[in-house]
């Protein structure tokens, strides 16, 4: 279990208690709820499949009966003597090459057209009647003003296979498409003289489809029956026929026949649907119902379950929170304090309010922080201080110099530097010993600390050489400070057994100038220092301000004569 907590990266014991309480509550509740939910969902889907499949099968049977009645009507009227005789005459005149169709027997044509005019009003489900020759060319139609139409290229194959030709006709003037059905007109010996076609209105199919949907489904739009043509094109819809025109049911090819499926339909709605085919036309009937309506009871059950589980988890979590609060509060204070220490804040002190193990741990923590604070102070001093002179070491004094230079560039605040070198220091080491030499360096550090202001800085620059930074000090004032240091040093001595060793210093002074960097400033101070040595030592020399920006050329120092 501890390895599991480490894997989950739980941040506190309180969270572990809360998560454990939540898991104890959630796992059984979710497991039982999920099982019951799936069983209920499956039962509802099976019930919906039976219901939807029953409806779509009923609609398909009604369609079959309705089309059979229409075909029967057309076949009855195709047996008319007037129609067969007119087509026979038409074929005879075409075979004789007459350039005037029916010119010798206009009465026959008039009888055919009259026959169509007589028949059409008796057929409520037809919008027009058409007569084709045996090559499927249109001869005449009623009404005459209707647009011309051509039979599909596969009309002969349809005629051979099912004795009737069918195709969909789209008319932009009507919301619903229509069906063109044509049957052969036969002669007495059974040969085909031509074709009698009828454009069948599908309005009656819409009524049939609507009658098989519940009024509540129609009102809410929760269910829809679709008649799909070849390629999934929507021919009829119980929802909105005008919107259905030109719409393609892109899901149709992926919807297995007579099997309930869940999918997003062409209008972007999540539905459950089932499909059955009308083989005679290559059409499909699809009934869809909104998924949330089908699974309404399951969704309600899910919501009630989630609400109950949420309330139970909240109650258990609250009790676990109260239980853990008394245990975790001291640990939290200790953790927060440890975090502050880890971020470098060693001013942390936790009040000890308990006399148990946590109280003892808190006291140990406070002692540890105190020791860390003291150790850090010692390390900070060691990192920036020269151990012999108790002045800043070279790195720290260079950082001070960089800080003053940045402030000068930003605000124009002037400053000057003193480069101080102990005269004949090698001779002191050789004659009096290194211990005396160390006393000399220590005494120099003490003099600097006594004479300099708190805003000034002094550091050991190397060996017997020191760098002093005088804040907000011009060159002339810096020279005065250098002279004061030189005079005090000259009157000071260190004991070497029974004798006293006297020593002096030479000082190079330089004031910062615009355009200079650290190296150029040090070079000017160094040049001034060596000028002081060349002039006899134990003196201070002020370096002149540069007339232009100085290129950095490190000074070549001569060895200090003994």
User: Does residue 433 form part of some domain?
Assistant: yes
Q: Which helix (H) or strand (E) holds 36?
A: helix 13-78
Q: Are residues 290 and 390 in the same domain?
A: no
CB atoms inside a 10 Å sphere around CB 531: 15
Question: Would you say residue 560 lies in a domain?
Answer: no
User: Could you tell me which residue, 317 or 370, shows the higher pLDDT?
Assistant: 370
Q: Which two tokens stand for residue 157?
A: 């194959």
pTM recorded for the entire structure: 0.47
Query: What is the number of structural domains in the chain?
Result: 2
- We report the CATH number of the domain holding residue 484 as 3.30.70.270
Look at 391 and 271; give whichever has higher pLDDT: 391
Q: Are residues 425 and 537 in the same domain?
A: yes
Tell me the pLDDT tens digit for each residue of 165-209. 888 887 766 667 788 889 998 888 888 888 999 988 887 788 888
Collapsing DSSP to helix, strand or coil, 270 comes out as: strand
Q: Give the Cα separation of 21 and 320 in Å (integer).
A: 7
DSSP 402-454: HHHHHHHHHH---EEEEEEEETTHHHHHHHH-HHHHHHHHHHHHHHHHHHS-T
pLDDT at residue number 103: 42
Instruction: State which of 230, 262, 294 marks the end of a domain.
Output: 294
Residue 391 sits in the same domain as residue 266? no
**Model confidence at 550: pLDDT above 70:** no
CA distances 433 to 341, 494, 559, Å, are 47, 12, 20
* CB burial string 187-224: b at 16+ within 10 A, e below: eeeeeebbbbbbbbbbbebbebbeebbeeebeeeebbb
Same domain, 284 and 396: no
Closest CA to 418 of 455, 384, 466: 466
- The overall average pLDDT reported for the chain is 80
Same domain, 404 and 534: yes
CA–CA separation, 148 vs 47, rounded Å? 49
- Say whether pLDDT at 218 is over 80: no
Residues 6+ apart with CB under 8 A from 101: 90, 93, 94
What separation in angstroms does the CA of 526 have from each of 54, 237, 521? 108, 100, 9
Q: Is residue 242 assigned to a domain? A: yes
Residue 349 in domain: no
pLDDT of 455 reads 93
pLDDT at site 513 = 93
Q: What is the reported pLDDT for 552?
A: 43
Q: What is the pLDDT of residue 6?
A: 52
Share of the chain above pLDDT 90, in %: 24
The answer to whether residue 115 sits within a structural domain is no
What is the SS3 assignment for 386?
Answer: coil
Residue 56: count of CB within 10 angstroms of its CB: 23
Annotate 300-367 with DSSP letters as a single string: HHHHHHHHHHHHHHHHHHHHHHHHHHHHHHHHHHHHHHHHHHHTT----------SSHHHHHHHHHHH
Which tokens sit at 128?
């027009």
Task: Name the more confident of 329 and 474.
Answer: 474
pLDDT at 399: 93
Give the residue numbers spanning the domain of 472. Answer: 385-542
Residue 512 maps to a domain: yes
pLDDT of residue 216: 75
Confidence of residue 356 (pLDDT cuts 50, 70, 90): low
In a domain, 511, yes or no: yes
Contact 552, 519 (CB under 8 A): yes
Which of 294, 313, 333 is the C-terminal boundary of a domain?
294
Are 287 and 413 part of one and the same domain? no
Output phi, psi for 317, to 5 deg: -65, -40
pLDDT at residue 10 is higher than 80: no
Average pLDDT over residues 59-76: 87
Q: Is residue 240 situated within a structural domain?
A: yes
Quick check: 84 pLDDT over 90?
no
Question: Which has the closest alpha carbon to 293: 45, 522, 16, 104?
Answer: 45
Indicate the residue among 276, 294, 312 that finishes a domain: 294
101 — pLDDT class (breaks 50, 70, 90): very low
Question: What CATH code is carried by the domain that includes residue 238?
Answer: 3.30.450.20
């Amino acid at each position: 279990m501890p390895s599991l907590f480490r894997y989950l990266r739980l941040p506190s014991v309180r969270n572990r208690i809360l998560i454990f309480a939540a898991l104890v509550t959630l796992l059984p509740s979710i497991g039982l709820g999920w099982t019951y939910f799936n069983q209920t969902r499956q039962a509802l889907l099976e019930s919906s499949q039976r219901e939807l499949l029953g409806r779509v099968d009923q609609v398909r049977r009604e369609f079959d009966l309705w089309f059979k009645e229409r075909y029967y009507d057309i076949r009855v009227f195709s047996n008319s003597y007037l129609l067969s005789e007119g087509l026979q005459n038409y074929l005879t005149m075409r075979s004789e090459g007459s350039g005037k169709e029916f010119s010798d027997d206009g009465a026959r044509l008039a009888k055919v057209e009259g026959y169509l005019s007589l028949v059409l009003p008796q057929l409520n489900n037809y919008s027009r009647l058409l007569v084709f020759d045996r090559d499927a060319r249109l001869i005449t139609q009623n009404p005459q003003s209707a647009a011309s139409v051509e039979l599909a290229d596969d009309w002969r194959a349809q005629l051979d296979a099912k004795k009737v030709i069918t195709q969909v006709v789209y008319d932009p003037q009507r919301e619903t498409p229509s069906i063109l059905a044509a049957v052969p007109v036969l002669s007495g010996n059974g040969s085909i003289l031509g074709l009698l076609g009828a454009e069948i209105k599908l309005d009656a199919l819409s009524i049939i489809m609507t009658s098989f949907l519940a009024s509540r489904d129609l009102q809410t739009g929760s269910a829809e029956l679709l008649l799909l043509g070849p390629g999934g094109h929507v021919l009829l819809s119980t929802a909105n026929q005008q919107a259905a025109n030109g719409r393609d049911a892109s899901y149709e090819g992926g919807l297995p026949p007579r099997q309930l499926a869940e999918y997003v339909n062409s209008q972007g709605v999540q539905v459950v649907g089932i499909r059955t085919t009308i083989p005679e036309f290559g059409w499909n009937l699809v009934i869809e119902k909104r998924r949330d309506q089908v699974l309404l009871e399951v969704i309600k059950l899910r919501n009630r379950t989630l609400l109950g589980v949420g309330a139970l988890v909240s109650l258990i979590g609250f009790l676990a929170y109260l239980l853990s609060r008394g245990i975790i509060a001291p640990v939290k204070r200790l953790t927060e304090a440890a975090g502050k220490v880890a971020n470098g804040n060693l001013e942390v002190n936790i009040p000890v309010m308990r006399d148990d193990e946590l109280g003892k741990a808190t006291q140990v923590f406070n002692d540890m922080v105190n020791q860390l604070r003291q150790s850090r102070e010692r390390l900070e001093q060691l990192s920036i201080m020269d151990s012999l002179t108790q002045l800043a070491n070279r790195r720290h004094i260079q950082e001070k110099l960089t800080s003053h230079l940045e402030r000068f560039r930003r605000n124009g605040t002037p400053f000057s530097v003193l480069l101080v070198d102990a005269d004949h220091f090698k001779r002191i080491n050789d004659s009096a010993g290194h211990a005396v030499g160390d006393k000399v360096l220590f005494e120099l550090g003490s003099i600097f600390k006594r004479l300099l202001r708190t805003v000034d800085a002094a550091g050991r620059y190397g060996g017997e050489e020191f760098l002093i930074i005088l804040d907000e000090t011009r060159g002339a004032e810096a020279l005065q400070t250098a002279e004061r240091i030189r005079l005090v040093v000259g009157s000071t001595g260190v004991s070497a057994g029974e004798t006293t060793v006297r020593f002096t210093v030479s000082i190079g002074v330089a004031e910062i100038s615009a355009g200079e960097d650290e190296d150029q400033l040090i070079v000017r101070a160094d040049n001034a220092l060596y000028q002081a040595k060349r002039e006899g030592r134990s003196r201070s020399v002020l370096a002149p301000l540069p007339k232009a920006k100085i290129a950095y050329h490190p000074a070549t120092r001569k060895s200090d004569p003994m």
